[in-house]
Structure 1
């Protein structure tokens, strides 16, 4: 067994429902504990579910996921974009982490929202769908992480994305084809990304003011140059009007796989190791 963990936490007991989107959710923690998996992913969050889904693409590989939160596919608070800013600070969805008191913030602790739900923080964030600059990722590689530079990561970023629209400001200002997404954006992934179809009247005056200050408009911030004023996409499925996140995509789209099992409402507290041929290897949780 190989242990992979994206968060130091994990899982509970969900009710097996008839819907395909819940098919891999276990109702019995003992059943999960008595099973043998090739991989166990601790934490069914943004990265955890993505990793588990990719590993389970091999039908001969069994993957178990342990998640401390619950699977809430029909929760209106999580699904409704307008509710996004009400989620942080709600213990139903948030771990309620805080920093130590900050000396330069009048000794106040800072709230650190982290998702305690299947889907992790992708279930509770503000759905702002953007990237850092090329220089930032290249710096990761220079620290001794080959392949973690911009050119190494961009194909993987694009593989996750399904852009379904073009920035309307780009269309208006450059006469771009409304169906012509940039090469830096993906269109065959599972996470839906698109732009709003309504903007407040304040947007254009702000843009003009920034232009007078020498801040350029950037129509392609996903290209590795995130400098300037730009309109960010959001991870919202425009067909359903719902948040697009790891539980509603990487898990729900693959829940029918018999080799992809998720235990929710249970927390991993210890990893057991076994001495095998003089080498300690993880054997159970």
Structure 2
């Protein structure tokens, strides 16, 4: 018998499968099978399983099995994150411009120009590092700078802001002593001078965040705190600064030691200023120093 005939007989030869009960061996059913039928049923079963799997990967299970779907989703997330990063970059640039101009006002340099703005931010003082960080102003920073240039600093009478949320708030006295110079904005003296005994601690007037802790030629060791409601307090001529930029301070917390530093000092004292939305306030209207 040839090999082809043997294969044909093997495929077409039928077998009887009988199903019986275990107890009495009674016949429950029977059916004929052959290897050819088994092969055909297997191929059909695999085809059905493949078709169902294909449908599922294109519909319900697409997010787990379709690489194109995953790539599209990841691309959308990357674009969204990129927009967020761009927005944060603009916000940071605007904040840097704002702080740079505040520091310019504090140090007596006024509102910075476009060229000096980059130098100021690049050399922004940080008590924990001596190396200035490189900075290149962006278009957003320059646009904020234009707004500062178009809005000159003006003196605000305390009565004009009596209805603000901090007008009735309690402020700690930064130091107890004798006033030797009062608030006189017409003479470019935007704060008060308080004389106290040597090594007297200086305290924060309210809760806030340190935005400047540095040394300038005119004012010596200087520290500035950003409070709520756009209120800023400034402490000049200190002998020692005890806080760093970015630190959160509480009302009444010691932040520095009174001193006699800077070329504009006339002896050991604290020069204290209050600024609201870029305009100076008379500290005596809010704080008692004696």
Instruction: Report the TM-score, using the length of structure 2 for normalisation.
Output: 0.22
- The answer to which structure has the higher strand fraction is 2
Q: Which has the higher contact order (CA 8 A, sep 6+)?
A: 1
- The answer to which structure has the higher helix fraction is 2
Instruction: Report the TM-score, using the length of structure 1 for normalisation.
Output: 0.23
Larger Rg: 2
